[in-house]
Amino acid sequence: MEREKEDKGIITGSRRDFLKWGAFVGCAAAMFGGVAEAVKAVEDKTKPYIFADKVIRTGCPAHNCGGRCLLKVSVKEGKIIRIETDDRPGDSIEDPQLRACVRGRSYRNRQYHPDRLKYPMKRVGKRGEGKFERISWEEAINKVASEITRVKNKYGNSALYVPYGTGSYNQVNGRQTANRLLNMIGGSLGFYNSYSWACTNIATPYVYGTKVSGNQRQDWVNSKYIIMWSWNPCEMRDGTNSEYYLKKAKENGAKIICIDPRMTLSAVALADEWIPIRPGTDTAMMSAMAYVMIKENLYDSDFVKKYTVGFDSSLMPGGCEKEESYKDYILGTRDGIPKTPEWAEAITSVPKETIARIAREYATAKPAMLYQGYGIQRRAYGETAVIAGCVLASITGNVGIPGGWAGGIALQADDGGPFWNIFPEGDNPVNAKIPVFLWSEAVLRGKEMTAADGVIGAEKLDNNIKLIYAVASNALINQHANTNRSAKILSDESLVEFIVVHEQFMTPTAKFADILLPACTQFETWGLEDGWKYGDEVILMPQVVDAPYETKSDFAICSLVAEKLGVKEKYTEGRNEKEWIAYLIEEYRKTRFPDVPALKEFEESNIGVYSTPITKPHIAFADFRKDPVKHKLNTPSGKIEIFSRQLFEKNNPKEIPPVPKYIQEWESPFGKEADKYPLQVIGNHYLERVHSTHDNNAITNEAFPQRVFLNPVDAVKRGLKTGDKAKVYNDRGIMIIPCRVTSRIMPGVISIPQGAWWTPDENGIDRRGNVNVLTSERWTPLAFGTAQHTIMVQVEKA
């Protein structure tokens, strides 16, 4: 996941409601003093921590889990001996404790893992073989600097690339440190978008003209009916406390429906009803819901007329009057296929009666939320599923009201929410950017890539990627689609000529490094984080223990390279890690948190977090709802675009329809491919790890072992029972891992939780269960995003 900074007005942008925020945060400032006293009072009452030398509140290392939580870390003789969590008194819905999950609480196992990388190393075997030899920092830095210089001189800066990687979001640790480094010496090829939410990131603005389509979460308690569509906050968190807010909504009377191929942890804990749906068919069910609403006149026709375009032929945008409206599509006026619940049942596997009932319930239970998780859009036509959800919210009039939900990417109103990284990367003199998912294309055929491949900022690329500088990234091998393909590409030294990796462990990506540099963990340097997608807090991350062995922060490593390249002063601006954090706190003061305490006070208070209690949650599109003429949306029509003229002009109606349509996926149970590979795979998030981080953590492993989950119907056919080894394969790869037979997943679908470390045996068969040996590098039509969930496989007893 990577937040798009450009349209968020981070440091430089304008804040449209600054005064209101000022007033808000004023209360928070008073609160901070109050909390400090309260926390101190608790500490005074308790026994001194005689077992520890010091107890420090700090942020849980941000590995892009979807949460930003608080840890209370006890240190003795330079070692972390205990990890507790947020214990601020007064755990309220306005300002809840930021309780860490199983991964944060298991962190000591990762922190003191014997496999930590300890010294700089250089590759001695073939690339990817994983054979390394210890070298000095001097030799390592010399090599990195000289290779950067060599590649830059030979090809130009656009041959340099800092890949996607979400292992660290703590300012001085993480990918951003390398971006700043390369920007100081002429820049590098950029990327846009993310693996997590490519389609919703691109599609949402086509409907709403913005990505800020989410109410603040405290508003969820105002909802009467909540559809969790492929949304599983108990496992991916989606903001610390999201599951807790939903509990509060349910306690407040909301009915909760969970639509998901798996009976997820969230479904068990929160749902009144679980509705399994065949993956990749969400738009079909949404269309049938619209059919019921239209036929039974349950949609909000006043809202539709006043606030939207494209619903029916009378509301088409200028120049498109003759085109197929949304209603035309739903009723089958032109294609002859009414999108009835019967039609959808055959596609989705959801009973027609259920589809009709959910349509009626959602349309009539105002205010209601239809929250789209991100799984439905990491698929072949993820864009349409996003838009279809937004359209349902719109035609039921649930946009711009408390308890409603507009859908889409739903960044938090009214300012877009947390910033994530604010460590200044500097300007990149190379303008060209590729869609993040197409990096391997840029390795193979960068020079051929144009707008047709999603290139922006330049007409075409003038280089293939020749040098990769990977920091906190296991994306190259492990998390990108089609691992065997990625490994083949990267092992060819004539393509990418040099790979440097900063890492904490010998990950599958680290094995492909030419120079491998040992990074310290977040507990071993300074950091700062704000909330994830939601959240109104700043969390300070003081250095808790010393960096062990020869490890260094990513910032420190990049500083050494910068020195060798003659740009040290420019790179560091004379600041060390702690001084950067002091500087960045000031940046928060200039923007979201004018009253956040300066570093000294923040550190001395040992609260760890500065938060803004939310008593009156912001509602996305409230202004627009109040006065759609005065507060036009930033779409061509100024209204909600159910029919998008911009999409129409893409002139690719089969893949990018101007109204959301169900499109059969390119690997589907309805296609010929199903003869050979009859099972769909979902690579869902898993509490054992954060993407691939923690996969070597014995405590989370014990709690959530890696397995392939399949339904008894499919297991019996294959003679599989829980604990048996299952062979899962398609044309792209093979894995053999234990299986868990469970009725908590629907027949025809298996789950292989994503993020397990690729562990090929001598025959190339993965023995750990990295779902990406099965996934495809094919990208989605509009967003150029990942479709890693769209795959078919076969399973047999190994």
Partner 1 sequence: MSKQYGFYVDSSYCSGCKTCQAACIDKNNLDRGVLWRRVYEVNEGGWKKVGNAWVPNVIAYNVSLSCNHCENPLCVKNCPTTAMHKDSRGIVTVDENKCIGCRYCEWSCPYGAPKYNEKKGVMSKCNLCADFIEEGKDPACVAACPMRVLEFGEMDALKKKYGSVNEVFPLPPGGITKPSVVIKPHKSEADVKSISAAINNREEV
Q: Using CB under 8 A, pick the residue from 698, 761, 764, 796 that binds partner 1.
A: 698
Q: Using CB under 8 A, pick the residue from 141, 234, 391, 515 that binds partner 1.
A: 234
Q: Is 751 in the site for partner 1 (CB under 8 A)?
A: no
Q: Cβ of residue 106: shortest distance to partner 1, in angstroms? A: 5
Q: Using CB under 8 A, pick the residue from 92, 431, 615, 743 that binds partner 1.
A: 743
Q: Is 260 in the site for partner 1 (CB under 8 A)?
A: no
Structure tokens at 207: 């409907």
Nearest to 242 by CA among 342, 357, 369: 369
Cβ closer to partner 1: 111 or 637? 111
Which residues are CB-contacts of 335 (< 8 A; sequence separation ≥ 6)? 329
Q: Cβ of residue 706: shortest distance to partner 1, in angstroms? A: 12
For residue 795, how many other CB atoms are within 10 A of its CB?
Answer: 22
Q: Is 712 in the site for partner 1 (CB under 8 A)?
A: yes
341 to 370: interface string for partner 1, x by CB under 8 A: ----xx--xxxx-x----------------
Tell me the C-alpha distance between 770 and 708, whole Å.
10
Contact in structure between 685 and 236 (CB atoms under 8 Å)? yes
Tell me the C-alpha distance between 480 and 493, whole Å.
19
Q: Cβ of residue 249: shortest distance to partner 1, in angstroms? A: 12
Q: Is 108 in the site for partner 1 (CB under 8 A)?
A: yes
- Establish whether the linkage from the previous residue to 341 is cis, with ω within 30° of 0: no
Collapsing DSSP to helix, strand or coil, 790 comes out as coil
Q: Using CB under 8 A, pick the residue from 11, 547, 699, 765 that binds partner 1.
A: 699
Contact in structure between 528 and 602 (CB atoms under 8 Å)? no
First to last CA, the chain: 35
Q: Cβ of residue 410: shortest distance to partner 1, in angstroms? A: 21
Q: Is 289 in the site for partner 1 (CB under 8 A)?
A: no
Collapsing DSSP to helix, strand or coil, 195 comes out as coil
Scanning 242-250, 512-520, 549-557, 570-578 for contacts with partner 1 by CB under 8 A, the matching segment is 242-250
DSSP sequence for 390-408: HHHHHHTT-SSSTT----T
Q: Is 122 in the site for partner 1 (CB under 8 A)?
A: no
CA atoms within 13 A on the CB side of 90: 13
Q: Is 636 in the site for partner 1 (CB under 8 A)?
A: no
Q: Is 679 in the site for partner 1 (CB under 8 A)?
A: no
Contact in structure between 518 and 505 (CB atoms under 8 Å)? no
Tell me the C-alpha distance between 311 and 304, whole Å.
7
Q: Cβ of residue 123: shortest distance to partner 1, in angstroms? A: 33
Q: Using CB under 8 A, pick the residue from 748, 753, 755, 785 that binds partner 1.
A: 748
Q: Give one word for 208, left, alpha or beta, with left for phi > 0 and alpha for psi -120 to 50.
A: alpha
Collapsing DSSP to helix, strand or coil, 308 comes out as strand
Cβ closer to partner 1: 598 or 703? 703
Structure tokens at 550: 């020869």
Q: Is 755 in the site for partner 1 (CB under 8 A)?
A: no
Q: Is 99 in the site for partner 1 (CB under 8 A)?
A: yes
Q: Cβ of residue 246: shortest distance to partner 1, in angstroms? A: 9
Q: Exposed, middle or buried: residue 688 (CB in 10 Å: 0-12, 13-18, 19+)?
A: buried
Q: Is 243 in the site for partner 1 (CB under 8 A)?
A: yes
67 to 86: interface string for partner 1, x by CB under 8 A: ---------------xxxx-
Q: Is 373 in the site for partner 1 (CB under 8 A)?
A: no
Cβ closer to partner 1: 273 or 623? 273
Structure tokens at 67: 């949460």
Give CA separation, 438 vs 195, 198, 444, 478, 691, in Å: 11, 12, 10, 15, 19
Cβ closer to partner 1: 169 or 244? 244
Tell me the C-alpha distance between 512 and 443, whole Å.
15
Nearest to 261 by CA among 769, 755, 679, 664: 679
Look-up: residue for tokens 């088409």? Answer: 316
Cβ closer to partner 1: 100 or 647? 100
Q: Cβ of residue 189: shortest distance to partner 1, in angstroms? A: 40
Q: Using CB under 8 A, pick the residue from 325, 711, 772, 780 that binds partner 1.
A: 711
Q: Is 266 in the site for partner 1 (CB under 8 A)?
A: yes
Residues near partner 1 (CB under 8 A) are 45-47, 82-85, 87, 91, 99-103, 105-106, 108, 234-235, 240-241, 243-244, 247, 263, 265-266, 268-270, 274, 276, 345-346, 349-352, 354, 687, 698-700, 702-705, 711-713, 722-723, 742-744, 746-748
